């Protein structure tokens, strides 16, 4: 009977070792799947980030160019208005005389 019990115990230990091996294999496979999924997710994120970043950069440059054109146009218009304005030297002279004489 002891031999039979010994065989049963050996068989149970063998089954436990096999089960342990399956568990380790399953954990390793799960880690591989998880790492693969993580790498793919990071790659997808970077791809989408780069696309969005490029679109925003393009939009920023276009809007900046429009704003700069408007600024240059307004400055040129202002300069043109100043150059075309007539100087009233008599009124300016009177204003200066009044300001100086008041003090």
Over residues 49-78, the pLDDT tens digits come to 999 999 999 999 999 999 999 999 999 999
- Residue 23, pLDDT score: 97
Quote helix, strand, coil % in the chain, to nearest 5: 95, 0, 5
Query: What's the distance, CA 83 to chain centroid?
Result: 47
Residue 11: pLDDT over 70: yes
Q: What is the pLDDT of residue 61?
A: 98
Please report, in angstroms and rounded to a whole number, the separation of the first and last CA atoms in the chain: 130
Residue 34 pLDDT level (bands cut at 50, 70, 90): very high
What is the average per-residue pLDDT within 73-97? 92
Please give the mean pLDDT across all residues of the chain: 93
pLDDT at position 40 is 97
Does residue 6 surpass a pLDDT of 70? yes
């Amino acid at each position: 009977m002891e031999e039979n019990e010994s065989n049963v115990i050996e068989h149970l230990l063998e089954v436990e070792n096999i089960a342990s091996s399956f568990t380790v294999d399953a954990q390793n496979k799960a880690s591989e799947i998880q790492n693969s999924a993580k790498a793919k997710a990071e790659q997808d994120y970077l791809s989408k980030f780069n696309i969005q970043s490029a679109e925003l950069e393009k939009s920023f440059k276009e809007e900046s160019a429009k704003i700069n054109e408007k600024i240059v146009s307004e400055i040129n218009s202002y300069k043109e208005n100043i150059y075309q304005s007539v100087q009233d030297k008599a009124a300016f002279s009177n204003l200066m005389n009044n300001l100086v004489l008041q003090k």
